[in-house]
Amino acid sequence: MNLVVDIGNTLIKCGVFKEGALVRSFVTEDEKEVLNEPGIKKGIICSVRKELPAGLKDNKRFMLFTAQTPVPLKNKYRSAATLGSDRLAAAVGASHQIKGKPTLVIDAGTCLKYNFINAAGEYLGGSISPGLEMRFKALNAFTGRLPLQEKDGKFEDLIGTDTKGSMLSGVQEGIIAETDGIIDRYLKLYPGLCVILTGGDAAFFEKRLKNSIFADPFLVLKGLNIILEHNAK
């Protein structure tokens, strides 16, 4: 079995794969839970942090996914050395699922990341903006009186009738408008575009976007397993 580890800004997301299929996934803050996973033959680590957790550093069971790791996808990003490994893993996962069509991957997590693969299967890049939690924290941190808010799945109003509602509308409806607007721009440039939504906040946005999308919360994990198998051959 394979163990893939996606170390994000706040959490460690893991997937156990058997013969290419995801059989178990879990999220943890403790690297010991990763190290104690039984029956693992090989693994891969993808991290956006500057330093790996101590227990995972130089662990011989895992390969570290870096800018130099070969991938089954042509990477045309100009600054490949600074490309987030989670972004490239998501692109690999998407290109494996959808072939011969332009594809936009939207990863809704700490940051909102847009990743584009053209019909020729080439990764071109995309864009990055603050995610839900980051926007709420910014409003609180950079103003004198705005309180810290959390996302509210029941709130869908355009007009906030109090401060809390105004902040929820600005952040939540703002991201929805941003995301739909970017999808529309891609559709004009690339007719037949496929859109895949992933990330920790994917479920929050899945039914709120007006554009047709396909949600896959495990896209990065699947991409990492593909990269692991590609390098094991």
What element of type H or E holds 130? strand 122-130
Contact partners, residue 108, CB within 8 Å, separation at least 6: 131, 132, 197, 198, 199, 200, 201, 202, 204, 205
DSSP string, 172-220: IIHHHHHHHHHHHHHHHHSTT-EEEEESTTHHHHTTT-SS--EE-TTHH
Distance CA 166, CA 191 (A): 35
Whether 184 is catalytic is: no
Of 63, 65, 71, 112, give the one whose Cα is nearest residue 94. Answer: 71
| Residue 221 falls in which region: left (phi positive, over 0), alpha (psi -120 to 50) or beta | alpha
Active-site choice (86, 107, 201, 216): 86
Q: Which residues pair with 108 in a beta bridge?
A: 112
Half-sphere exposure of 126 (CA within 13 A, CB side): 29
Decide if 94 contacts 223 (C-beta within 8 A).
yes
Residues with a catalytic annotation lie at 86
